[in-house]
Amino acid sequence: VLWSSTNMTTKPSTTSRVKVGRRGVLHWGETLNNVFMITSGSAGGNERLALAQRVQERPDDPGVWAAVLEHASTERSGTSAAALCKLYRRATQCIPKDRPEVKESEAYINIWLGFARELVAAEKHMDAAATFQF
Protein backbone atom coordinates (compact mmCIF):
# COMPACT_ATOMS: atom_id res chain seq x y z
CA VAL A 1 0.00 0.00 0.00
CA LEU A 2 1.47 3.30 -1.03
CA TRP A 3 -0.81 5.55 1.02
CA SER A 4 -1.63 5.36 4.68
CA SER A 5 -5.33 4.85 5.26
CA THR A 6 -5.14 6.90 8.46
CA ASN A 7 -3.18 9.87 7.14
CA MET A 8 -3.95 10.82 3.54
CA THR A 9 -1.19 13.46 3.55
CA THR A 10 1.52 10.81 3.70
CA LYS A 11 3.72 10.82 0.63
CA PRO A 12 4.20 7.69 -1.50
CA SER A 13 6.83 5.27 -0.34
CA THR A 14 10.26 5.61 -1.91
CA THR A 15 10.26 1.83 -2.31
CA SER A 16 7.18 1.73 -4.52
CA ARG A 17 6.87 -1.00 -7.12
CA VAL A 18 7.52 1.23 -10.11
CA LYS A 19 10.91 2.85 -10.43
CA VAL A 20 10.73 6.23 -12.14
CA GLY A 21 13.77 7.37 -14.10
CA ARG A 22 15.57 10.61 -13.30
CA ARG A 23 14.07 12.42 -16.29
CA GLY A 24 10.89 10.41 -16.53
CA VAL A 25 11.83 7.49 -18.77
CA LEU A 26 9.18 5.45 -16.99
CA HIS A 27 5.97 7.07 -15.87
CA TRP A 28 3.70 5.79 -13.14
CA GLY A 29 2.54 2.22 -13.78
CA GLU A 30 4.81 1.64 -16.79
CA THR A 31 7.42 -1.07 -17.18
CA LEU A 32 10.44 -1.34 -19.45
CA ASN A 33 8.64 -4.11 -21.32
CA ASN A 34 5.63 -2.03 -22.34
CA VAL A 35 7.44 1.28 -22.98
CA PHE A 36 10.18 -0.30 -25.07
CA MET A 37 7.87 -2.91 -26.66
CA ILE A 38 9.84 -5.88 -25.36
CA THR A 39 8.19 -9.20 -26.05
CA SER A 40 9.41 -12.11 -23.99
CA GLY A 41 10.59 -14.94 -26.16
CA SER A 42 11.15 -12.75 -29.22
CA ALA A 43 14.42 -12.99 -31.09
CA GLY A 44 15.62 -9.50 -30.13
CA GLY A 45 13.88 -9.29 -26.75
CA ASN A 46 16.99 -9.73 -24.61
CA GLU A 47 19.00 -7.26 -26.68
CA ARG A 48 16.24 -4.65 -26.53
CA LEU A 49 15.89 -5.16 -22.78
CA ALA A 50 19.64 -4.52 -22.34
CA LEU A 51 19.35 -1.37 -24.46
CA ALA A 52 16.30 -0.21 -22.48
CA GLN A 53 18.20 -0.68 -19.24
CA ARG A 54 21.02 1.47 -20.62
CA VAL A 55 18.47 4.18 -21.49
CA GLN A 56 17.12 4.03 -17.95
CA GLU A 57 20.66 4.48 -16.59
CA ARG A 58 21.49 7.37 -18.98
CA PRO A 59 18.18 8.93 -20.09
CA ASP A 60 19.80 12.10 -21.36
CA ASP A 61 22.27 10.33 -23.72
CA PRO A 62 21.20 10.59 -27.38
CA GLY A 63 23.56 7.76 -28.37
CA VAL A 64 21.86 5.29 -26.04
CA TRP A 65 18.39 6.35 -27.22
CA ALA A 66 19.48 6.11 -30.87
CA ALA A 67 20.64 2.52 -30.32
CA VAL A 68 17.34 1.39 -28.77
CA LEU A 69 15.29 3.24 -31.40
CA GLU A 70 17.29 1.72 -34.24
CA HIS A 71 16.76 -1.73 -32.74
CA ALA A 72 13.03 -1.10 -32.33
CA SER A 73 12.78 0.12 -35.93
CA THR A 74 14.68 -2.79 -37.47
CA GLU A 75 13.21 -5.52 -35.25
CA ARG A 76 9.60 -4.38 -35.63
CA SER A 77 7.91 -7.80 -35.38
CA GLY A 78 4.38 -6.41 -35.60
CA THR A 79 5.11 -3.10 -33.89
CA SER A 80 2.98 -0.33 -35.34
CA ALA A 81 4.30 3.02 -36.50
CA ALA A 82 2.12 4.67 -33.85
CA ALA A 83 3.82 2.62 -31.10
CA LEU A 84 7.24 3.59 -32.42
CA CYS A 85 6.15 7.23 -32.51
CA LYS A 86 5.44 7.05 -28.79
CA LEU A 87 8.94 5.73 -28.14
CA TYR A 88 10.51 8.41 -30.34
CA ARG A 89 8.48 11.07 -28.55
CA ARG A 90 9.68 9.74 -25.18
CA ALA A 91 13.27 10.01 -26.40
CA THR A 92 12.84 13.60 -27.55
CA GLN A 93 11.27 14.49 -24.20
CA CYS A 94 14.02 12.88 -22.11
CA ILE A 95 17.01 14.35 -23.94
CA PRO A 96 17.70 17.91 -22.78
CA LYS A 97 17.60 20.38 -25.65
CA ASP A 98 19.53 23.15 -23.91
CA ARG A 99 23.00 21.58 -24.27
CA PRO A 100 24.87 22.63 -27.46
CA GLU A 101 26.71 19.30 -27.71
CA VAL A 102 23.38 17.47 -27.89
CA LYS A 103 22.12 19.46 -30.87
CA GLU A 104 25.41 18.80 -32.67
CA SER A 105 25.19 15.06 -31.99
CA GLU A 106 24.59 12.83 -35.02
CA ALA A 107 22.56 10.48 -32.82
CA TYR A 108 20.26 13.34 -31.76
CA ILE A 109 19.67 14.37 -35.38
CA ASN A 110 18.96 10.74 -36.32
CA ILE A 111 16.39 10.50 -33.53
CA TRP A 112 14.48 13.48 -34.92
CA LEU A 113 14.72 12.18 -38.50
CA GLY A 114 13.51 8.75 -37.40
CA PHE A 115 10.68 10.36 -35.47
CA ALA A 116 9.58 12.26 -38.59
CA ARG A 117 9.81 9.06 -40.68
CA GLU A 118 7.62 7.13 -38.23
CA LEU A 119 5.10 9.98 -38.07
CA VAL A 120 4.78 9.83 -41.85
CA ALA A 121 4.36 6.04 -41.65
CA ALA A 122 1.59 6.62 -39.09
CA GLU A 123 0.01 9.10 -41.54
CA LYS A 124 0.57 12.08 -39.23
CA HIS A 125 2.00 14.35 -41.90
CA MET A 126 1.42 17.66 -40.09
CA ASP A 127 3.16 16.34 -36.98
CA ALA A 128 6.03 15.08 -39.13
CA ALA A 129 6.47 18.54 -40.66
CA ALA A 130 6.40 20.11 -37.19
CA THR A 131 9.32 17.95 -36.00
CA PHE A 132 11.67 20.03 -38.11
CA GLN A 133 10.90 23.12 -36.04
CA PHE A 134 13.16 21.98 -33.20
pLDDT at 14 over 60: no
Q: How confident is the model at residue 15 (pLDDT cuts 50, 70, 90)?
A: very low
Task: Decide: 32 and 52 in contact? Cβ < 8 Å.
Answer: yes
Element (H, E) at 47: helix 45-57
pLDDT tens profile 38-67: 877 766 788 889 999 999 999 999 999 999
**DSSP secondary structure letters along 86-131:** HHHHHHHHHS-SS-HHHHT-HHHHHHHHHHHHHHHHTT-HHHHHHG
pLDDT of residue 23: 52
pLDDT tens profile 55-105: 999 999 999 999 999 999 888 766 788 889 999 999 999 999 888 888 889
pLDDT of residue 134: 59
pLDDT of residue 45: 82
| Residue type (1 letter), 27 | H
Local structure of residue 80 (DSSP, 8 states): -
Element (H, E) at 66: helix 62-74
Portion of the chain with pLDDT greater than 70, in percent: 78
Q: How confident is the model at residue 12 (pLDDT cuts 50, 70, 90)?
A: very low
Output the average pLDDT for the chain. Answer: 79
